[in-house]
Each structure stands twice: as C-alpha cells, then as structure tokens.
Amino acid sequence: MSDGSINQGRILRNLMRLMDVTCGHSLYEVLPRGVQVWLPDQSLGVYPDLMVVAGEPLLHDGKEDRVLNPCVMFEILANPTPGYNPDAATLPERGGIFRRCRGIPYLQAYVFVHQTEARVEQFYRAEENLWGMTAQSGLDSVVELAITDARLPMMDIYERVDFSLLV
C-alpha cells in the first residue's frame, strides 16, 4: 500500500482535507495514516492510509494505539493493478488488508484509491456479510461514500497528482 511517493502523499493530503471538511466536524472523526486498527480475532493490527470513526474511538483493552471501530478505511494503491472490468468473468479480487478487515463489525466502506490513474473502487457493506462494489474513473466523476454522506469529487481527490510520474 503506502510507498511514500509524492503522488501518494498528494492523494493522502487531498483525501484528508476532503474528508475532514465533509464530515470531520460532525459525529465522525478522521484519522490519518499511522493509527493502528486492531483485529482482535486475528491478534494483529493494520495501518490504513486513512480511516473514519463514528463517535468515540473504541480502544482494545484501553490501549491507545489499538482502534477497534473504523467505519470507513481508505487504501491508496501503490502499483498499477488490474482495475474493475465490466466484461471480466469475475469481480476483481481485493485481498490484503481488506480481506483481513471485512470481519470488523463497524466497517461500512473500504475504499481503494488508485495512484496511477483516476480510479476509485468502493466496497460497501450491503448486508452483514455481503459487500457491494461501485467504481468511479475519470476526473469528472464523484465518489459518494456509502456512509457519512461525503461526496468526493475525483478532481479534488487527484488535485496536483501527476499521472506521468513513474511509481
């Protein structure tokens, strides 16, 4: 996920700004990369690029670096990856952290933000164990998060991102 490139930093900054403006002053709290989400079932933690918590953060055993209740997580994809293709025989497999985090009962949306093209894929919890997927591409579209009522214009997510740079 995080590769420290300048584009990665720009997307992260843009997302942080957008999310904080759209929902950071309501009951939601936006937390940047570096805060650990703890998965008690698996006794391990993961570090999303950005997360949103509804209400007060729940801390595992009171430990301040182990958040249990993100409702939205963002992951910025470092490498060129096969995107969603409506003609493909199957849905794209999104493994890694998302697969580990799908058991978090509080998680409502997991958002992949591609770095090498203007493309965002949102997986949202449609039912307790069933996830729906929406995909946006191109700078003229808008990502509507399944929770928080946030609407994120792709143009703002990718502000100052230079797609000609090699990752």
Partner 1 sequence: MAASIDQAKAQMQELCDRWGGRVDYLAIRLEQSEGTDILLRGGRVETLSEAIAIGGHVRACYRGGWGFASFNALESLVSCVEAAVAAARLVGDDETLLAPVAPITITRRLPLTGKDPRSIPLARKKALCSHYADLLQGVDNRIATTSVRYTDVAQRVLLATAEGTLIDQAWSDMEMRFAATARDGDTVQTGRETTGSRKAYEDLEGLDSQVRGAAQRAVAALDLPSVHGGTYEVVIDPILTGLFVHEAFGHLSEADMAYENPDLLESMSMGRRFGPDSLQIFDGAAPEGHRGSYFYDDEGTPATTTQLIQDGVLVGRLHSRETAGKLGEQPTGNARCLNYHYSPLVRMTNTWIERGSTPVNDLFADIKEGVYARNWLEGMTNGEMFTFTAGEAWMIRNGQLAEPVRDVTLSGNVFRTLADIAAIGNDFYWDESGGCGKGGQNGLPVGCGGPSLRIRNVVVGGEADDWYE
Q: By CB under 8 A, name the binding residues for partner 1.
A: 1, 40-43, 75, 77-78, 81, 84, 86, 88-91, 93-97, 99, 102-103, 105, 123, 125-135, 146
Whether the CB-CB separation of 39 and 46 falls below 8 Å is answered with yes
Burial class from Cβ neighbours inside 10 Å (0-12, 13-18, 19+) for residue 53 reads: buried
- Least separation in angstroms between residue 160's CB and partner 1 is 24
Residue 14 vs 122, nearer CB to partner 1? 122
DSSP 97-128: HHHHHTT-TT--EEEEEESSSSEEEEEEEEET
Q: Choose between 30 and 48: whose C-beta lies nearer to partner 1.
A: 48
Q: How far apart are CA 159 and CA 167, in angstroms?
A: 17
Q: How near is the Cβ of 17 to partner 1 at its closest, in Å?
A: 24
User: Cβ 140 to partner 1, closest distance in Å?
Assistant: 19
